[in-house]
Structures are given as structure tokens and as C-alpha cells.
Amino acid sequence: MAKQHQNNAAQMKSELEEPLGAFAGGMKERRKIVQNGIEKLLKTKIQQTQHVNKTRDRYEQECLKIKGYLAQGHMVMGQEERKNKAKLEKTQISVATSNTEYEHAVKALEDTTARWNREWKAAADKFQDLEEERLDFTKSSLWQFANIASTVCVSDDASCEKIRLSLEKMDVETDIITFINERGTGQEIPDPPKYINFCRGDATDTQSEASEDDNYSVAQFPRSINPAFRSSSPQPSTYESHHDPNSHLAQNLGHREPQQTPGRDSGLAARGTPHISSGVRHAWALGGSATRPLST
């Protein structure tokens, strides 16, 4: 499953991420070219519009002055009339210049406006083309992503089915028994060495040198059912033969009756050995590793 995810990630990088990066970079450059041209023309149009307004205001003010001088000419005489006439002539010359500037500004703005309308339409068409390409590319890319993602889902479902099939074959009790058979240390608990009074002659030299490895007791630890996994696992067998240490199962697991050793208290043999459940043997096999090393 992890390998398939890694392959799909590499496929997404080569078929989706890299083409998307190249497409986005190309779109940015193409949009920038069109945008710079239209913004430059817009700046020129704004400047010419401001110039037209300025020349028009100046021309309008000078025309108003001429009208005022003409009106005063009928109300003054003598020296005042000559002064008024001189101002009128001077303003008429200035009006002619302002009128020419105003006409030229209007003509230039008219040409620029016509150019602006053409290039604005071309830019709008170009931007629409870019947007259509972007939407089409995004649609294709997302479609391809959906196909890759669906492939991942199919692969994950197949992998999960393999997991389910493997889990159907898995059994907690079987795994514990297998571990006991392969790594168990047995059910014998070694006894500590007993005190020997050599001065009293409780033992001979030969007996004192004898190994006491064969002196042991049998693990008889009670074990209750673990509800943590028993709630979802099959319940253990209730047949008495399955808990009999002398049964065929117990013999296959390597459990045997305790042996009598010389010099030991015979009271141990006199006492009956209780039945040892599989849970007890499991607990000793798992916990006995602290006393004796696991066999390979």
C-alpha cells in the first residue's frame, strides 16, 4: 500500500504538479505583456484628458474676459476706453493661442481614445482567451487527478482486502501457543538451594557437590480471562480435557508431571497437582523469561 502511494505521488508530481507550474508561469508572462501595454496606453489617455480639461478651462476664462471687455466698451470713454480696448486686443491674441492648444489637445485625445478602444477590446479578448485556457487546463488537470486518486482507492481497497483475508486467518490463542512452543522456557520453577548443616553431617561430600538444577516446582498460577480482547475474540474452550495437564495437547506443548528428586521433602509428591489451564501455562511461558533464558 505504501509503495503504491509513493508511485501515485510520483505520478502526480510528473503529470500534475510540473505541468501546472509551467502553465502558471506561462500564463503570468502572457498576461503581463498584455497588461503592461494596456496600462501604458491608459496612462497616456488620462494625461491627455487632464491636458484637455486644462486648456479648455483657460480658453473658457479668456473668452469670458473678452465678453467683459466688450461690455465695458459701451460704458467708458476717453482714457478708460483706450485701456479697455488695449486689454481686449491682448486677450483676443491670447484666446487665439488658447483655442489652438485646446483644439490640438482635443484632437490628440480623440486619436488616443480611438486607439484605446481598439486595444482595450483586443486586451479584453486576450484576457478572455487566457481565462478559457486556464479553465480548460484546470478541468483537464482535476480530471486527471480524479483518475489517479481513484486508482489509489482501488489499490487501497485491494490491499485492505488482503489485510482482511490475513486477519481472518489470525487467532490470538494460536499465536500464543505458537510463541510458547517456539520460545517457551517450560513450566518448571527452579527451587532455591536448601541449607545443609555439614557439621551435623546432613549430607556427604558427594551430595554437597551435586547439582540442584533438577529441583523445581510446577507453575500453578491462576489466570482470569482478559476482557480486553475476549470481548471480540472467541471464548476459550470449556471442555475439562482441554485443561488436563496429562492430555494430548499438554503433552504436545511439552508440559509434564513434576519429577521426584532424592533428598526432597516427599510432601510435595503427596499433594495432588491441580489442573493447569492453558492460560496459566501461557502466563508462565511469557513471565518465565526473567528466570531462565528463552530457548531458540
Residues 28-44: tens digit of each pLDDT: 999 999 999 999 999 99
Q: Are residues 149 and 18 in the same domain?
A: yes
- Cα–Cα nearest to 126, from 20, 27, 21: 27
Domain boundary among 128, 145, 169: 169
Q: Are residues 191 and 149 in the same domain?
A: no
DSSP letter for 260, please: P
Highest mean pLDDT among 3-7, 20-24, 167-171, 232-236: 20-24
Q: Are residues 97 and 37 in the same domain?
A: yes
Residues 104-114: tens digit of each pLDDT: 999 999 999 99
Whole-model pTM above 0.85? Answer: no
Q: What is the mean pLDDT of residues 80-88?
A: 77
Domain boundary among 153, 169, 185: 169
Q: Does residue 64 register a pLDDT over 50?
A: yes
The percentage of residues in the chain with a pLDDT greater than 90, rounded to a whole number, is 29
Q: Are residues 153 and 196 in the same domain?
A: no
Residues 273-284: tens digit of each pLDDT: 344 344 434 434
Domain boundary among 147, 169, 191: 169
Give the pLDDT band (50/70/90) at residue 221.
confident
pLDDT recorded at residue 220: 77
Domain membership of residue 50 (yes or no) is yes
Q: What is the mean pLDDT of residues 59-73?
A: 81
For cell 491441580, the residue is 274
- Cα–Cα distance for residue pair 146/139, rounded to 1 Å: 11
Task: State which amino acid sits at residue 102.
Answer: Y
Q: What is the mean pLDDT of residues 8-30?
A: 92
Contacts of 59 (CB under 8 A, 6+ apart): 95, 98, 99, 101, 102
Q: Are residues 82 and 225 in the same domain?
A: no
pLDDT recorded at residue 244: 55
CA 16, chain centre distance (Å): 17
Domain membership of residue 296 (yes or no) is no
The percentage of residues in the chain with a pLDDT greater than 70, rounded to a whole number, is 72
Quote the cell numbers at residue 126.
Answer: 486576450
Q: Are residues 138 and 274 in the same domain?
A: no
Domain membership of residue 190 (yes or no) is yes
Domain membership of residue 63 (yes or no) is yes
Domain membership of residue 59 (yes or no) is yes
Residues 115-137: tens digit of each pLDDT: 999 999 999 999 999 999 999 99
Contact 292, 190 (CB under 8 A): yes
Q: Are residues 155 and 11 in the same domain?
A: yes
- Cα–Cα distance for residue pair 187/275, rounded to 1 Å: 13
Q: Are residues 27 and 76 in the same domain?
A: yes
Q: Are residues 12 and 70 in the same domain?
A: yes
Domain membership of residue 57 (yes or no) is yes
Q: Are residues 25 and 160 in the same domain?
A: yes
Domain membership of residue 295 (yes or no) is no
- Cα–Cα nearest to 230, from 173, 161, 167, 157: 173
Q: Are residues 36 and 135 in the same domain?
A: yes
Comparing 28 with 84, the larger pLDDT belongs to 28
Q: Does residue 89 register a pLDDT over 70?
A: yes
Which domain does 73 fall in, by range?
2-169
The number of folded domains in the chain is: 2
- Cα–Cα distance for residue pair 25/3, rounded to 1 Å: 32
Q: What is the CATH number of the domain that holds 34?
A: 1.20.1270.60
- Cα–Cα distance for residue pair 82/69, rounded to 1 Å: 11
Contact 257, 246 (CB under 8 A): yes
Q: Are residues 78 and 62 in the same domain?
A: yes
Domain membership of residue 79 (yes or no) is yes
